[in-house]
Amino acid sequence: MSPAPSPDTASDARPLTVLVTGGAGFVGSRVVELLSERTDHRVIALDVAQNARSEEISRLPNVEFRAADLRDVEALDPIVGEADAIVHLAAVRTQAAAARPKDAHDVNVGTTYDLLTLATRHGHSRFVFGSTNTLYGPYADADAAPFSEDQPWVCRGINMYAATKLASEAYLEAFTGLGGPSYLALRIGPIYGPRVSPGSNGSMSIDILQALDAGERPSLAWTPDSIHSFVYVDDVAKAILASLSAEQANLAVNVVGAPVTTEEFCRRLIELYGHDPSQIDWRGERTRYQRVSQDRMRDVLGFTPETTHDEGLRAVIEWYRAQK
């Protein structure tokens, strides 16, 4: 099998009209930016929120911002009808899903079903779905081998957010069997980077910097030896671009960074910020050993995350300082 085109050569493919849901969000806005910068695709950035970020992306070349609620199928139908492919990133995230499980179901599962229905009706070529690698469970076993996409599923220890993503992945496969679009379900690891969403695991970096600025000891719920598959936001966006033109489809693909312990990641952030990392308060309330295979990401997308943790953390610090 030939490797998929790299994100940098995606513009060589036939130009498409790509609908990006959650287009003003943390990941979605970066996907929209890269589509505008690196491809000839026309982009419809769809989000329920209209804010400074949506205004910024609406000024990008070949980008049109649309404000709409994905649950409004009547309003959604003509928008989907303009597109050739969908990148579906809008979702109720982990903490909100736990607090509002019915909303999480309606938004995460219901809108995926509706989008797939419309994409099938309008003859779309590709559906790229933002899933999660938390559907592998709590990563409680420190000695477990890296999780791969095809290993037998054991539905144990998953949270509400992961449950909605698992249900949506099942609909992707079912709609393909009914003549729907080809799909890639990207099981994305914890994302960090500039403009990170508050309350996510990736926002731990911002919590640490804010504590240091306040003259406080950063207090972390994780154990120092917990392992995370942190992936930088630009790498996630590049993987999504590669998914639009990947030759192999109709399967799940992990999109994750190299495993790193909480201590390694946080100590380096604090060092780069010019502070003493020994002052971290390790509460030890949470633990996980999140090892996830990158093999299919390399084989199907022709892609491996390029951003080192030092590069990513420096970018976070630079952005954080610019907001102060």
Catalytic residues: 161
Nearest to 21 by CA among 31, 12, 13: 31
If phi > 0 it is left, if psi is from -120 to 50 it is alpha, else beta; for residue 137 that is left
53 Cβ contact partners less than 8 Å away, ≥ 6 residues apart? 24, 29, 195
Tell the burial category of 3 from Cβ atoms under 10 Å away from its Cβ (0-12, 13-18, 19+).
middle
Please give the radius of gyration of the chain, using alpha carbons only, rounded to the nearest integer.
19
CA distances from 192 to 71, 229, 256, 315 (A): 28, 10, 11, 10
Nearest 10 degrees: Cα torsion 205, 208, 212, 216: 180
Dihedral of alpha carbons 150, 156, 158, 162, sign: positive
Strands 182-188 vs 126-132: parallel, antiparallel or unpaired: parallel
CA gap 318, 6 in Å, rounded: 28
Q: Which residue, chain included where needed, has tokens 């220890």?
A: 157
Q: What's the N-to-C CA distance of the chain in angstroms?
A: 49
CA gap 177, 179 in Å, rounded: 6
